[in-house]
Amino acid sequence: AQKITQTQPGMFVQEKEAVTLDCTYDTSDPSYGLFWYKQPSSGEMIFLIYQGSYDQQNATEGRYSLNFQKARKSANLVISASQLGDSAMYFCAMRGLRNTPLVFGKGTRLSVIA
Amino acid sequence: DVKVTQSSRYLVKRTGEKVFLECVQDMDHENMFWYRQDPGLGLRLIYFSYDVKMKEKGDIPEGYSVSREKKERFSLILESASTNQTSMYLCASSQGTGENEKLFFGSGTQLSVL
């Protein structure tokens, strides 16, 4: 079974600064995928970034990058140059082999301060 | 763009009522999922379906059932609503089941059971 741990219930960051949201995972599958989603106050889940376990390079999507450390089983999300619109809940998730559904962490609420 | 539509954004029901939450996707996706989201608990999987008329239990299926008579529609049923089912319900869909298959979410239904 897969498990995702997000240890930061809430985070604050100054506008224009970078912030790292932590995510560790546990799985026995040899191959797996890691995802980050953003949930603004409107409620809809927005896909941000994906990292495959065999990808050689860390994934990047605009201001989002994923700091993937396979040996440590961590997949931290880095947001550069924070904006007020980045204030939201952020969820880390993973999927392993055998057609397993996506498993989510408990989330981190990020607040960006002007 | 994929669109996943949940029939109600807010719903208020009484204890013991039978409740139907409807979800429709317009991109011919094979797979559909129901999650519930509670503060501090993240997203937990209730039921999912990889094909029409097929269903699989997730992590917390007790008190719920589902129906998938057509590919595009996946209904969540609360046979006899209870106050502990007050929650945000999120429907999602995906095309495949590979490790990199991301989920597309609806806007959610905030259900209050009084």
The nearest CA of chain B is from the CA of A33 a distance in Å of 5
The dihedral sign for the CA sequence B52, B63, B45, A47: positive
CA distance B73 to B92: 11
DSSP, residue by residue, B37-53: EETTTEEEEEEEESSTT
Nearest to B88 among A43, A50, A52 (CB): A43
**What would the pLDDT profile of B66-109 be if each residue is shown by its tens digit?**
999 999 999 999 999 999 999 999 999 998 877 788 899 999 99
Q: What are the chain A neighbours of B6 within 8 Å (beta carbons)?
A: none
CA distance B67 to B77: 8
Report whether A109 contacts A10 (CB < 8 A): yes
**What would the pLDDT profile of A91-103 be if each residue is shown by its tens digit?**
999 998 767 899 9
Contact A31 B99 (CB under 8 A): yes
pLDDT of residue B1: 67
Mutation target to probe the A interface, by most A beta carbons within 10 A, among B99, B100, B102, B107 is B99
The nearest CA of chain B is from the CA of A11 a distance in Å of 14
pLDDT of residue B2: 65
Q: What are the chain A neighbours of B107 within 8 Å (beta carbons)?
A: 42-44
Q: C-alpha angle A74/A35/A28, rounded to 5°? A: 55
Q: Which two tokens stand for residue A82?
A: 């924070």
Mutation target to probe the A interface, by most A beta carbons within 10 A, among B9, B31, B36, B43 is B43
Contact A45 B40 (CB under 8 A): no
**What would the pLDDT profile of A26-85 be if each residue is shown by its tens digit?**
998 889 999 999 999 989 899 999 999 999 899 999 999 999 999 999 999 999 999 999
Q: What are the chain A neighbours of B102 within 8 Å (beta carbons)?
A: 35, 47, 50
Q: From residue B2, give the alpha-carbon distance in Å to each of B26, B28, B95.
A: 6, 9, 10
CA-wise closest residue to A17 among A79, A64, A81, A86: A81
